[in-house]
Amino acid sequence: MSAQTVTLSQVESHLWESANILRGPVDAADFKTYIFPLLFFKRTCDVWDEEYEEIVADTGDAELALFPESHRFQMPDDCR
């Protein structure tokens, strides 16, 4: 059995085609109305997680890290 080598351009092409399949009938220009809110939500979740980890590392208190006052963004528990 021989190993198959995949080039970077093949991976990029495959990912691009996968994204087009997932996008479906939505016009590429209108796709930003779906992607930008997801990117914003992802970033706010990442910031919350970073702040949580920093507080726990600094204080060792996981409960303190859950206080709303400890974060720039408020994320519902079931949304992270």
- What is the share, in percent, of the chain residues with pLDDT greater than 70? 96
Q: Which of 16-20, 32-36, 60-64, 68-72 has the lowest mean pLDDT?
A: 32-36
pLDDT in tens, 42-74: 999 999 999 999 999 999 999 999 999 999 988
pLDDT score recorded for residue 2: 57
Flag whether 16 is in a domain: no
Question: What does the alpha-carbon distance between residue 15 and residue 23 come to, in Å, rounded to a whole number?
Answer: 12
Flag whether 39 is in a domain: yes
pLDDT score recorded for residue 76: 81
Domain that includes residue 73, residue range: 27-79
| Of the candidates 48, 45, 53, 50, the residue with the CA atom closest to the CA atom of residue 69 | 48
Please say if the pLDDT value at position 39 is more than 60: yes
Please say if the pLDDT value at position 13 is more than 90: yes
- The domain total for the chain is 1
Flag whether 64 is in a domain: yes
DSSP string, 9-67: HHHHHHHHHHHHHHHTTS-GGGGHHHHHHHHHHHHHHHHHHHHHHHHHHHH--TTGGGS
